[in-house]
Structure 1
Amino acid sequence: MIKPYPLQFQPEFKERVWGGRALEQFGLDIPEGHIGEGWMIADHPNGTTTVMNGDLKDLGLDQVREQFGQEWFGSKGFSEINGRFPLLIKLLDCNDDLSIQVHPTDDYEGLPQGELGKTEMWYVLDAKPGSKIIYGLNNGVTRESLQLAIANGTITDSLREVPVEAGDTFYIPSGTVHALCAGVVVAEIQQNSDTTYRLYDYNRPGLDGKPRDLHIEDSLNVIAYEGSGATMMKTDTAIPGEWLQLAKSPYFIVEKGIVSGAWSLTTTPASFAILVICEGQGRLNWDGGSLDYKAGQCFLLPANLLQYTLEGNATVLRSYLP
C-alpha cells in the first residue's frame, strides 16, 4: 500500500506569442522559445503533468486519479462533468500583452464536448513598474455598443484598465472580459479548462506568422454585461500563521499564507489541497517524509495526507474545493 505524500509534477510548458523567459527566475528548465505558460498541475487533453517524486514517479496525474480516486483526491475531488481533476494550476509569463478575452460558463452550449467553462483567479508574483491589466468593461458598455466598437476598431475604448503590482489578486468569474498585459508574472488557479474566446488580438501575427483566430460571436454571447462578480484586492494585510482568503467560488477557494517558522496544518477528507510557493523557501514535513520547497514550486497534497507542517520563511497560496 502506498502512503499518501505531497506530489510534485514536471510542468508542461506552452509557447505563446506573448511569452518570454521570466519563468527561468524560479529555476525552471524551460524549453527554447517564447514560453508563456507553465502548466504546473494539469489533467487535461491538452496537457497532463507527470509526477516527479516518490513512489508514484512517472505516473501522469490522470493515472494517479484513476488509481487512487476519492481516497487521495477527496469526496469533492473530481469534475462532475468529465471526471477529471477539477483544477488547473499555471504560472504565466506575460512578456507582451495577451489577447482581450472572455471565458464561458459550464452550461454554454458552444463548449466542446467534455470541456468545462472557466472561472479563474490571478495572484501577481512580479510586475514591472507601470504594469496594468484589462479587467472588465467600462460602465455602460452593452452588447450592441461593444459589437459596434469591435467593427470600428475602437474596442480598447470600452475596456477597463487597472494598474497592478506584486501581491495583487484578481478573481475572474466566467463572463469577465480580461487580459494580462506586458511585464506581469502571475500564478493562476482555474477550472480545468482550455477554452478561451478572443475578442481582440492587436492585429498581430501568431507564432506561425498568421493572425490568431478571434471568436467574436461566442465572446459576445458569454460576456456578463451587467457584471460578473469579479473582485480584486491587495493582500499585504496577510500575517504569519493565518490564512487570508483571496477568492471563493463554486469551483475553488484560494488563500494566502505567510510562513514564518513552523506552521502545523491539515488536509480534510473532502478535498485535496494545492500549495503554490510564491516567495521564499523552507521545508514541508508530513508523517513519513519531508522535502524542501522554494518559490515557483507547486504541490498537490492528497486529501488523506492529513497532518503536515510548513517550515521556513515563505509566501504560499493554498487552494482547495469548497
Structure 2
Amino acid sequence: MIQPYPLKFQPDFKERVWGGRALEQFGFAIPDGAIGEAWTIADHANGRSTVANGELAGKGLDEIRAELGSAWFGTKGASAKNGRFPLLVKLLDCQDDLSVQVHPNDHYERLAEGELGKTEMWYILDAAPGATIIYGLKKDVDRDAFAKAIAEDRIMDVLETVPVKTGDAFYIPAGTVHALRAGVLVAEIQQNSDTTYRVYDYNRPGLDGKPRELHIEDSLNVTAYGDSGASRMETTLSGSHSWLKLAASPYFVTEKGQVDGRWELSATPDSFVIHIICDGSGFIAWEGGSLEVKRGDSLLVPAALGSYALEGKMTVLRSQLP
C-alpha cells in the first residue's frame, strides 16, 4: 500500500490568445506560444495534471483518484455529480485582456452532461501599475439593459472596472460577469469546470485567425442580476502562522497565511488540502519525508496524511472542501 505523501504536479499548459511567457518565472518548461494557463491541479476531460514526485510520479490525477479514492482525497473528495476531483487550480498569465464572460451554476439546464458549474476565486500574484479587471455589472443593470448594451456594442458602459494590486483577492460566484485584463498574474481556485460563456471579445481574432465564438443567450440566461454574492478584499496579514479567510463558498474555502519558521498543520479525513506558494520558498515536511517548495508550486496534501508542517519563509494559500 502506498503511504500518503504531498503531491506535486506537472501542469497541463494552455495556449491562449491573451497569454504570454510569464509562467516561465516559476521554473516551468512551458511549450512554445502564448501560454495563458497552467492547470496545476486538474482532473478534467479537457486537461489533467500528472504527478511529478514520489511513488506515483507520472500518473494523472484522474488515475490516482480512481485508484485511491476517499482514502487519499477524503470523504468529500469527489464530485457527487461526476465522481471527479471537485476543484481545478490554475495559474494565469494575462498579457492581454480576457474576454468578458460569465459562468453558469450547477443547475443550468444547458450544461454539458457531467459538467459542473463554475464558482471561482482569484488571488493576484502580481499586478502591473494601473492594472484593472472587470468585476460585475453596474448597479441596476437588468437583463433588458444588459442585452441592449450587447446588441448596441456598448457593453463596457454597463460593466464595473476596478483597480487591482498584488495581494488582492476576488470571490466570483457563478453568475458574476467578469474579465481579467492585461498586466496581472493570477492564482485561480475554482469548481472543476471548463464552461465559459463569452459575452464580448473585443472583436479580435483567436489563435486560428477567426473570431472566437460568443455565447450571448447563455450569458444572458446565467447572469445574476443584482447582487451575485461577489466580494473582494485586500489581504494584508497581521502576523505569521494564522489563516486569513479569503473566500468561503459551498465548493471550497480558501485562506492565506504567512510561514516564518515551522508551522505545524494537519489534514482531516473529510478533505484533501491544496497549498499554493505565492512567494518565498521552503519545505513541506511529514512523517515520511520532506519536499522543497517555491513560488508558483501547487501541492495536494492527501486527507490521510494527518500531521505535516510548512517550513521556511513564504506566503501560502490553503484551499479545502467546506
User: Does 2:18 align with 1:7?
Assistant: no
Please tell me the root mean square deviation across aligned C-alpha atoms, in Å: 0.6
Deviation at 1:140, TM superposition (A): 1.1
After the TM superposition, which residues 1-322 of structure 1 pair with which residues of structure 2 at under 5 Å, given as runs? Answer: 1-322=1-322
Q: Which amino acid aligns with 1:27?
A: G
Whether the aligned pair in 2 keeps the contact of 1:98 and 1:179 (CA below 8 Å) is: yes
Whether the aligned pair in 2 keeps the contact of 1:118 and 1:195 (CA below 8 Å) is: yes
Residues in 2 aligned to 1:305 and 1:233: alpha-carbon distance in whole angstroms: 32
Q: Deviations over 1:88-144 (max 9, x none)?
A: 000000000000000000010010010000000000000000000000000111110
Deviation at 1:239, TM superposition (A): 2.1
Residue aligned with 2:269, SS: coil
Residues in 2 aligned to 1:71 and 1:91: alpha-carbon distance in whole angstroms: 28
Residues in 2 aligned to 1:198 and 1:54: alpha-carbon distance in whole angstroms: 40
Residues in 1 aligned to 2:123 and 2:138: alpha-carbon distance in whole angstroms: 23
Q: Percent identity?
A: 66
Residues in 2 aligned to 1:49 and 1:28: alpha-carbon distance in whole angstroms: 13
Q: Which amino acid aligns with 2:252?
A: F
Q: Deviations over 1:178-213 (max 9, x none)?
A: 000000000000000000000000000000000000
Whether the aligned pair in 2 keeps the contact of 1:238 and 1:257 (CA below 8 Å) is: no
Q: Which amino acid aligns with 1:303?
A: A
Deviation at 1:37, TM superposition (A): 0.2
Whether the aligned pair in 2 keeps the contact of 1:9 and 1:52 (CA below 8 Å) is: yes
Q: Deviations over 1:158-181 (max 9, x none)?
A: 000010000000000000000000
Whether the aligned pair in 2 keeps the contact of 1:205 and 1:212 (CA below 8 Å) is: yes
Residues in 2 aligned to 1:233 and 1:146: alpha-carbon distance in whole angstroms: 26
Deviation at 1:237, TM superposition (A): 3.0
Deviation at 1:46, TM superposition (A): 0.3
**Residues 278 and 205 of structure 1, relative CA distance in 2, 3 Å threshold:** same
Residue aligned with 1:276, SS: strand
Whether the aligned pair in 1 keeps the contact of 2:122 and 2:171 (CA below 8 Å) is: yes
Whether the aligned pair in 1 keeps the contact of 2:237 and 2:257 (CA below 8 Å) is: no
Residue aligned with 2:258, SS: strand
Residues in 2 aligned to 1:114 and 1:99: alpha-carbon distance in whole angstroms: 25
Residues in 2 aligned to 1:120 and 1:70: alpha-carbon distance in whole angstroms: 23
Residues in 2 aligned to 1:153 and 1:237: alpha-carbon distance in whole angstroms: 42
Residue aligned with 1:8, SS: strand
Residue aligned with 2:7, SS: coil
Query: What TM-score does the superposition give when structure 2 sets the normalisation length?
Result: 0.99
Residues in 1 aligned to 2:161 and 2:25: alpha-carbon distance in whole angstroms: 27
The structure 1 segments of at least 4 consecutive aligned residues displaced by more than 2 Å after TM superposition are none
Q: Deviations over 1:39-60 (max 9, x none)?
A: 0000000001111110111111
Residues in 1 aligned to 2:223 and 2:15: alpha-carbon distance in whole angstroms: 27
Residues in 2 aligned to 1:172 and 1:274: alpha-carbon distance in whole angstroms: 19
Whether the aligned pair in 2 keeps the contact of 1:238 and 1:244 (CA below 8 Å) is: no
Deviation at 1:238, TM superposition (A): 4.5
Query: What TM-score does the superposition give when structure 1 sets the normalisation length?
Result: 0.99
Q: Which amino acid aligns with 1:6?
A: P
Q: Which amino acid aligns with 1:132?
A: T
Deviation at 1:27, TM superposition (A): 1.2
Q: Which amino acid aligns with 1:306?
A: G
Whether the aligned pair in 2 keeps the contact of 1:265 and 1:308 (CA below 8 Å) is: yes
Deviation at 1:227, TM superposition (A): 1.4
Whether the aligned pair in 1 keeps the contact of 2:139 and 2:226 (CA below 8 Å) is: no
Unaligned segments of structure 2, at least 5 residues: none
Residues in 2 aligned to 1:201 and 1:293: alpha-carbon distance in whole angstroms: 37
Residues in 1 aligned to 2:199 and 2:261: alpha-carbon distance in whole angstroms: 47
Residue aligned with 1:284, SS: strand
